[in-house]
Chain A
Amino acid sequence: MRMAIQGIGVVGGFGCGLSALTQALAGKKVSPVYLPVRTHSGEVKLPVLQAQTDLLENFISKRALRRVDHFSRLALLGAYLALQDAEKKESKERIGIIIATGYGPSRTTFGFLDSMLDTDITLASPTLFSNSVHNIAATNIAIRLGITGPAITICQFDTSFQSALITARTWLEQKIVDAVLLGGVDEYCEMLGYCYHRFCSANKQDDCTVIDTGCTDIPLGEGSAFFYLTPEWNNAKYGYITKCYMSTCNTKKKTLFYSIDKSRNFMLNVPGVEKSFFELYGIMPIHFAFDIIIALILLNRQVVLNEHDNEYKKSLMLANQGYCVELQV
Chain B
Amino acid sequence: MAIKQKLKKILVEELNLEDVVPEEIDDSAPLFGPDGLGLDSLDAVEIVVLVQKHFGVEIKNLEEGRKALQSISTLADFIESRSS
Residues of A within 8 A of B14 (CB): 125
A55 within 8 A of B: no
Q: Which residues in window 34-49 of B have CB below 8 A to A?
A: 38, 42, 45-46, 49
- How far apart are the CA atoms of A67 and B42 in the complex, in Å? 10
A62 within 8 A of B: yes
Residues of B within 8 A of A124 (CB): 49
- When the two chains form their complex, are residues B17 and A125 in contact, meaning their CB atoms are under 8 A apart? no
Residues of B within 8 A of A67 (CB): 16, 42
Shortest distance from the beta carbon of A53 to any chain B beta carbon, whole Å? 13
Shortest distance from the beta carbon of B47 to any chain A beta carbon, whole Å? 11
Taking a contact as CB atoms closer than 8 A, the residue among B17, B38, B42, B52 that contacts A123 in the complex is B52
A308 within 8 A of B: no
- When the two chains form their complex, are residues B52 and A66 in contact, meaning their CB atoms are under 8 A apart? no
- When the two chains form their complex, are residues A123 and B18 in contact, meaning their CB atoms are under 8 A apart? no
Residues of B within 8 A of A63 (CB): 18-19, 38
Residues of A within 8 A of B52 (CB): 122-123
- How far apart are the CA atoms of A126 and B47 in the complex, in Å? 10
A127 within 8 A of B: yes
Taking a contact as CB atoms closer than 8 A, the residue among A66, A119, A122, A127 that contacts B17 in the complex is A66
Which A residue sits closest to B16, measured CB to CB? A66
Residues of B within 8 A of A122 (CB): 52
Give 1 or 0 for each of A268-291: 1 = CB within 8 Å of chain B CB.
Answer: 000000000000000000000000
Residues of A within 8 A of B60 (CB): none
- When the two chains form their complex, are residues A127 and B18 in contact, meaning their CB atoms are under 8 A apart? no
Q: Which residues in window 247-276 of A have CB below 8 A to B?
A: none
B29 within 8 A of A: no
- When the two chains form their complex, are residues B15 and A123 in contact, meaning their CB atoms are under 8 A apart? no
- When the two chains form their complex, are residues A123 and B19 in contact, meaning their CB atoms are under 8 A apart? no
- When the two chains form their complex, are residues A62 and B19 in contact, meaning their CB atoms are under 8 A apart? yes
Give 1 or 0 for each of A101-131: 1 = CB within 8 Å of chain B CB.
Answer: 0000000000000000001001111110000
Which A residue sits closest to B18, measured CB to CB? A62
Given known pairs A63-B19, A66-B18, the reply for A127 and B46 (CB within 8 Å) is yes
Shortest distance from the beta carbon of B9 to any chain A beta carbon, whole Å? 16
Residues of B within 8 A of A125 (CB): 14, 46, 49
Taking a contact as CB atoms closer than 8 A, the residue among A62, A65, A66, A119 that contacts B15 in the complex is A66
- When the two chains form their complex, are residues B53 and A123 in contact, meaning their CB atoms are under 8 A apart? yes
Q: Which residues of A contact B (CB under 8 A)?
A: 62-63, 65-67, 119, 122-127
| A66-B16, A66-B17 given; 19 more Cβ-contact pairs under 8 Å | A62-B18, A62-B19, A63-B18, A63-B19, A63-B38, A65-B18, A66-B15, A66-B18, A67-B16, A67-B42, A122-B52, A123-B52, A123-B53, A124-B49, A125-B49, A126-B45, A126-B46, A127-B42, A127-B46
7 A-B pairs with least C-beta separation: A66-B16, A62-B18, A126-B45, A62-B19, A123-B53, A123-B49, A127-B46
Q: Which residues of B contact A (CB under 8 A)?
A: 14-19, 38, 42, 45-46, 49, 52-53
Could you jot down 11 A-B contacts, CB within 8 Å?
Answer: A62-B19, A66-B17, A66-B18, A67-B42, A123-B49, A123-B52, A125-B14, A125-B46, A126-B46, A126-B49, A127-B42
